[in-house]
Amino acid sequence: MITSLTARLTLATGFGSTALLALGLLLPGPESSAARARRAPGERRVVVAPAETLSVNGGAVGMSRGDVVVLLLPGPVGSAFSMRSVVRELQARGIQPFVVDPLGMGASTRSKGADYTLSAQAVRIAKVLESELPAGVSVIVAAQGTSATIAFHLAATDTARVRGVVSIAGGPIDKQGTSGVRTALTFAALLDNPIGRGFAKRRFVSALRDQSADDRWLTNEVVKQYVAPIENDLRGLLRTLGAMQASVEQFPIESRLTRITVPVRLLVGDKPSASAPSAAQVTLLQAHVKRFAVDTLRPGGTMLHEERAADVARAIDEMVRGARK
Superfamily (CATH) of domain 2-324: Alpha/Beta hydrolase fold, catalytic domain (3.40.50.1820)
The mean of the pLDDT values for the chain is 83
Q: Which residues of 278-294 are buried (b: 16+ CB within 10 A; e: fewer)?
A: eeebbebbeebbeebee
What band does 65 get if pLDDT is binned at 50, 70 and 90?
confident
Query: 174: which DSSP letter?
Result: S
pLDDT at 158 over 70: yes
Q: Across residues 292-297, what is the average pLDDT?
A: 98
pLDDT at 30 over 60: no
pLDDT of residue 206: 85
pLDDT of residue 27: 42
Name, in order, each residue with C-beta under 8 angstroms of 322's C-beta and a sequence gap of 6 or more.
Answer: 164, 263
pLDDT exceeding 90 applies to what percent of the chain? Answer: 58
pLDDT of residue 224: 78
Q: Among the listed ranges 81-85, 86-90, 232-236, 271-275, which one has the minimum average pLDDT value?
A: 232-236
Interval 223-281: pLDDT, tens: 877 776 544 456 666 777 778 878 899 999 999 999 999 999 999 999 998 889 999 99
Interval 128-151: pLDDT, tens: 999 999 999 999 999 999 999 999
Highest mean pLDDT among 13-17, 130-134, 171-175, 315-319: 315-319
The gap from C-alpha 213 to its chain's centroid, in whole angstroms, comes to 20
In whole angstroms, what is the distance from residue 275 CA to residue 22 CA? Answer: 17
What string of DSSP letters covers 98-129? EEEEPTTSTTS---TT----HHHHHHHHHHHH
pLDDT of residue 180: 47
Q: Which residue has the higher pLDDT, 258 or 36?
A: 258
The strand pairing partners of 71, in sequence order, are 98, 141
Query: 66: which DSSP letter?
Result: T
The strand pairing partners of 142, in sequence order, are 72, 166
pLDDT of residue 126: 97
In whole angstroms, what is the distance from residue 20 CA to residue 204 CA? Answer: 7
In whole angstroms, what is the distance from residue 19 CA to residue 14 CA? Answer: 10
Domain boundaries, the chain: 2-324
pLDDT at 301 over 90: yes
Q: Across residues 215-220, what is the average pLDDT?
A: 92
